[in-house]
Chains A and B, each alone.
Chain A
């Protein structure tokens, strides 16, 4: 399968714990995006990478959130000291390049913070 993959698909954690999600983009895509989606809303942009460089971060991304893409391939999103308000679907998407904007989404990681 050559689509975007995410791991884990579901994560349940207790408030205050740290969680880390992984995204593997489509192999030739150099842009990688993270979004958060809550029920009844469209995805909200969090951050994106071009290769290993993190080029943009949303104001939504508090200092408890950090994302990396160390080798320009897979990416991780870590949330420290989780809060109940962090419960959401975390979506990863990738696109080929600046000139080819279409983003292809992974299946998402559903986070529940108890």
Chain B
């Protein structure tokens, strides 16, 4: 059974703090891991990770994947109130190794609240 678990479920910090969000997974035929940010609308894409140990970075956000231990982290440094959102982790996997049935399973998200 495919499973994506995010922690913590919610987090409240003050502006300027650094946060680390966690995502662990158990899926068959892993292909990639995606991070999304969701405010009061549809998710917007942040990162796609396919290789272990290679950090992806965009401004104050960065992410890394560990395919041996089956997890990823998303770091946000110098948080701002505009970072307040639900951060979703999603894993692309295949039911069959032939590649014909690729699926995306989401975790339940981490609700981040950044206070001024």
Chain A positions within 8 Å of B, measured between CB atoms, are 33, 35, 40-45, 48, 55-56, 91, 98, 101-108
Contacts and interface: CB of A to CB of B under 8 A. Distances in A.
Interface of B: 4, 31-32, 34, 36, 41-45, 48, 88, 90, 92, 95, 99-109
16 contacts: A40-B108, A42-B4, A43-B90, A48-B103, A55-B101, A56-B95, A56-B101, A91-B42, A101-B92, A102-B45, A103-B104, A104-B45, A106-B42, A107-B42, A108-B41, A108-B42
A56 B34 CA distance: 20
Given A103-B34, A105-B44, A33 B101 contact: no
B86 to A, nearest CB: 8
A44 B102 CA distance: 14
A42 B107 contact: yes
Contacts, number: 55
B104 A33 contact: yes
B114 to A, nearest CB: 19
Contacts of B43: 43, 91, 105
Given A42-B106, A45-B105, A103-B104, 20 more contacts: A33-B104, A35-B106, A41-B109, A42-B107, A43-B43, A43-B88, A43-B106, A56-B95, A91-B42, A91-B43, A101-B34, A103-B34, A103-B45, A104-B45, A105-B36, A105-B43, A105-B44, A106-B42, A107-B41, A108-B41
A113 B18 CA distance: 41
B80 to A, nearest CB: 23
B108 A41 contact: yes
A56 to B, nearest CB: 5
A102 B103 CA distance: 12
A114 B71 CA distance: 40
Nearest to B100: A55
A42 B45 contact: no
